[in-house]
Every structure is written in C-alpha cells, then in structure tokens.
Structure 1
Amino acid sequence: MDLLSLRYFRAVARREHISRAAEELRVAQPSVSRTIARLEAELGVPLFDRQGRAIRLNRYGAAFLTRVERALNELDDARREVADAAGLDDGSVAFAAETLLPFTELLAGFRAAHPDVAVRCFQSTPDAMLDQLRSREVDFCIASQPLSGAGLGAVRLLHEEVLLVVPTGHPLTGRDRVTVADIAEEPFISTRPGHWQRSLLDRLFASIGRRPVISCEGDEPGATYFLVAAGLGVGLMPSLARADLSQAPLTWLHLDTPDCVRTLNLVRREDGYLSAAAARFRDMAVAHFAERAQRSYKQE
C-alpha cells in the first residue's frame, strides 16, 4: 500500500466514478482501475459495490476513506509546514466566497505585497464551501452566513447593516426608512435560494407572513445594483457597498427591523496546518475590512 494508491482511492471514493477520478488525477482510466483492484486485493475486502459500470462506496470503503483522508491530510500539512520552515517557496492560498467582486481590492493588495504567493479563488455556494473545506481544496471560505461543521473556526471580518436600494425616481425616493410591510408588493432583484441575500430577504418577509415578489434572480450578488439601477426592481445591498456606488442612480433606505444585517466571516478548518501564506492572507483580510468599515463610517 503506497501513497499513490491511497490518493487514487480517495479521488475515486469522492467521485464514485472511475473516469472522473482519472480526469482529476490526469492519468489513464485503466491505471486507476488496476490500482483500486490491487488495493482491494491487499485489504482483502471490496471497497466499492459495483453494478455494471456504476460504483458506490460500501461500508468498508467508507470506513477506509475516513482514515485515508486523515492520513493524507496530515501528510499534506506536514509538507506545507516543512516548506514554510525551510523557506523553500512562498506558498499558496486558496479561498471561496459567494461573490468575488468585494475582494478585488484585497486581492490586489495581497498580490502587491506577496507577488510570489499563488492565489486561487472560487465562487461557491455555502454548501459547496463546506465540501471545499472538508476536502481541503481551500484554506478559507469567506461567508455571509454561518458555516457549521466539526472543527471549523471563524474570524469576523465585518458586521454591517443591509440597506434597501431603489432606483432614483422610485416612489420611495426621499424617505429614509421603510418597514417590510411598506415593500411587500415591490418586485425584488435577488439571488437564488441559498445565497445570503435571498436567505435574509425570505427571513424578513416571513416576519410579516409573506413571501417576496421576485422579479429577477441569479447567482451573482454583485449584479443586484446594475439591475436595480436599470429599473427592474428593488434589492438588498450591504451598507459597505454604498461608498463604492455613491455615483450610481440609486437611493438607499434603512429597513425598520433590527435584524437586517450581515456578518462576514473568514472560516477555516482549525485542525489543518495554517501556512505562512495563508496566515498572511488572513491578517491582511482582517485589516482590509477593518479599514473599509472605518472609511465607510467616516463617509456617512
């Protein structure tokens, strides 16, 4: 039993598909099949149930995968720790977020400060983020709603009010504050279920026993203000975005409810090794959002 066999097994177990695992590993499918067969022969039990070309991880395979994941993760962490200690490279950092648009300034600053660090970014739903943390595909997830799971820890980056945005000239223009009941019939620009904007919107309307009228929904929260400015509806936007959109044809209103807020957290697996590159990214992210919040407060 060697490390290559274990890595092949992990890929097949995660995908439950030989061809997809081979593509991920960038090796020929027969090589993966032979490796899995040798591993099963060595262990003396089948790790997958096979029906035609379909395979499913069985109870032996599930138990074995738990140990293999732990062993390979420890070895990957050890490699990163040794490389950090020896100064062999400047490392890498990977993170996922529901939208990448709010992080361009942070990424530009990080790139300028650490040009040799490889950075990978993913736009992911909260469910996908949990999978990416579990598989250690990413070092961090930046989430606007709680990510719960064993061994996860979070650092708060930002806690801010969420505002209602309407196009200039809308009947609500000129008002500073509205209730949820006031906007019960308004068409909303929002994200699909699962994203923080939609979760907040649904929760606000549930408080008055209603469902929001959705005129447009998608997967990119950053598109909200473009569509609102175009007159297609109203939407929810974090107050931090107000400073960046000061010239946009929008009116910003407070919602008369105490829980119209979002908390942005930097989430990671606490049982994994935090590389020097990842630690630098975390520290810069905390400082960046603290500075942005202070700037926003002064502009208000």
Structure 2
Amino acid sequence: MDLLSLRYFRVVARREHISRAAEELRVAQPSVSRTIARLEAELGLPLFDRQGRTIRLNRHGAAFLARVERALAELDDARREMADAAGLDNGSVTIAAETLLPLTELLAGFRAAHPAVTVRCFQSTPDLMREHLRTREVDFCVASQPLTGPGLGAVRLLHEEVLLAVPTAHPLAGRERVTVAELADEPFITTRPGHWQRALLDRLFATIDRRPVIGCEGDEPGATHFLVMAGLGIGLMPSIARADLAAAPLAWLRIDAPDCARILSLVRREDGYLSTAATRFRDLAVTHFAARARRARGML
C-alpha cells in the first residue's frame, strides 16, 4: 500500500461518502473508488459496509483508520521537523477559533515578525475544534470554553470578567451592577448553542431556573455590539471588548453571579511535534493577551 492510498482512505473514512471525499481530494470519484477497492483487496477484507450508495466504516475500517491516522500524523510531524531544520521561512501555523476577531491584532503582529511563515485560520465550534485536533488539521485551537480530550493540553491566555452591554438609552444604563433575575424578561443578542456566549448565558439563567429570552442569535459573536447599539437587545461581552469599544454608545454593567467570566485558552495535542513557527506563535499569543488583559483592567 502507498501513502496516497492511505490518505484517500482517511478522507473517505472521515466523510463516509465517496463523492464528498473525491470533492475534498479534488480528484475524480472513480479514482477514489478504485483506490479503496485496491486497498481492501490488498488487506483481504472490507473496510466499509455498503448498502446501495451508502457506505459506513465497519469495525475493521475503524481499527485500520486509528493506525493510519497515527502513521500519517508521524509522517506529517517528520515533515514539519524537516521544514524546521531547513529554516523558519518554510514554516506554517494553522489555528482554529470560535471567532477570529480577537485574533486580528495577534495575527498581524505574528505576520509582521515572521512574514515568511504561512498562517491559516478556521472558524469552528468547540466540537469541530476537537475533531481538528484529533485529526491534526490544526496546530492550535483558541477556545473560549473548556476544550478537553485525550492527549490535549492547554495554555491559559486570558481570564476575564464578562460584562453586560446595553444601549445608552436602556433603563439599566445608569446601573453599575445587575442580577440575573432582573434580566429575566430582557431580549438577548447572543450566539447559537455551542458558542461560549450562549453556554454562559444558559448557565446564568439556570441559576434562576429560567431560560433567557433570545431576541437574536447567530454565528458571529463579533456582531453582538452592533445589534445592541441598534436597540435590538442586550448582550454578554468580554470585558476586553470594553477597551476596544470605549467610544461606542454602550453602557457596561457587572452581573452579580459567580463565574461570569471567560477563560481563553490555547489548546494543542501534546503528543504532536511543535514546530518552531508554532512555538513562536504560542509565545507571542501568551505575551499579547497578557498585555490586553492589563489594558482591559485599566478600563474597569
């Protein structure tokens, strides 16, 4: 068996769909089908259960996939190690995050310091982040809520209070603090389930045995303050945003509730090779967010 066959098999096994795998691999579907058939013939047993056009990875395929992923991961680590030996100019860093907006300054600083390093970013939910890490598609995930799993390790970048943002004309705008119970009938601007703002909002309202009133929900937390300023509702925002939005027509209130905070972490697979480029990115991320935290504290 050759490496190309193994890489084809890995994609088909993840997708459990020949056409989608062929699309991802950017090759013709018959080529993928023939490659899988040859691989199964070489191994002497089927790796998929087939019913019409539907395929499902069977127990033999699942066992084979686990070993194939480890083998390809080792080869990818070897490639990155050799690239390091050839110099940082050949390096690359791949990052996934729930929202990319908090990373813009960090990424700009990293690119300025290392212009030859290739940087790729993905916007992902926590579940997708775990999959990206499991399959080694990314070097790091920037997580705004706990992201745990076998072999994962995290570096804390930021622990910050989460504030309530309201329009300046809102009845609560003159307050410094508010309880969750006082917000029971207020419409919230928030993200869909799975994102950290929604997880925190649901957790806060669980303490009063209520569900929040959702006025607007979406996938981009960076749009929250625009919708709040438009008067469509109120929203939870990290305190770090207050420094960036000092001139915006928003009032900021503390919420009287325990653990009304966000922990931003840089998560990676501890068993993977950490390239020079990735190490530089990690170190810069720690320094960058420490500076931002100091600036945010100065605004409170």
Q: How many correspondences in the alignment?
A: 300
Contact 2:242 2:299 in 1 (8 A): no
User: 26-35 or 129-138, which moves further after superposition?
Assistant: 26-35
In structure 2, the partner of 1:95 is 95
Structure 1 position 7, deviation (Å) = 0.9
In structure 2, the partner of 1:293 is 293
Question: What amino acid sits opposite 2:215 in the alignment?
Answer: S
In structure 2, the partner of 1:121 is 121
In structure 1, the partner of 2:37 is 37
Structure 1 position 26, deviation (Å) = 1.8
CA–CA separation in structure 2 for the residues paired with 1:130 and 1:296: 30
Question: What amino acid sits opposite 1:67 in the alignment?
Answer: R
Structure 1 position 31, deviation (Å) = 1.5
RMSD, aligned CA: 1.0
Structure 1 position 2, deviation (Å) = 1.2
Write the mapping of 1:214-233 to structure 2, written as runs, cut at 5 A: 214-233=214-233
TM-score normalised to structure 1 length: 0.98
Q: Which runs of 4+ in 1 moved over 4 A?
A: none
CA offset digits 1:181-234 (Å, max 9, x no partner): 111111111111111001101111110111111110000111111000111111
Structure 1 position 39, deviation (Å) = 0.9
CA–CA separation in structure 1 for the residues paired with 2:90 and 2:6: 28
Question: What amino acid sits opposite 2:180 in the alignment?
Answer: V
CA offset digits 1:73-116 (Å, max 9, x no partner): 00110111112123274311111111111111111111111111
Structure 1 position 17, deviation (Å) = 1.2
Does residue 1:10 correspond to 2:10, yes or no? yes
Contact 2:187 2:215 in 1 (8 A): yes
CA–CA separation in structure 1 for the residues paired with 2:223 and 2:134: 29
How much identity, in percent, do the aligned residues show?
81
SS in 2 for 1:162: strand
Q: Which runs of 5+ in 2 are unaligned?
A: none
Contact 1:165 1:251 in 2 (8 A): yes
SS in 1 for 2:285: helix
CA–CA separation in structure 2 for the residues paired with 1:58 and 1:189: 43
In structure 1, the partner of 2:249 is 249
In structure 2, the partner of 1:158 is 158
Structure 1 position 28, deviation (Å) = 1.8
In structure 2, the partner of 1:264 is 264
CA–CA separation in structure 2 for the residues paired with 1:68 and 1:241: 43
User: 82-91 or 230-239, which moves further after superposition?
Assistant: 82-91
Q: Which runs of 5+ in 1 are unaligned?
A: none
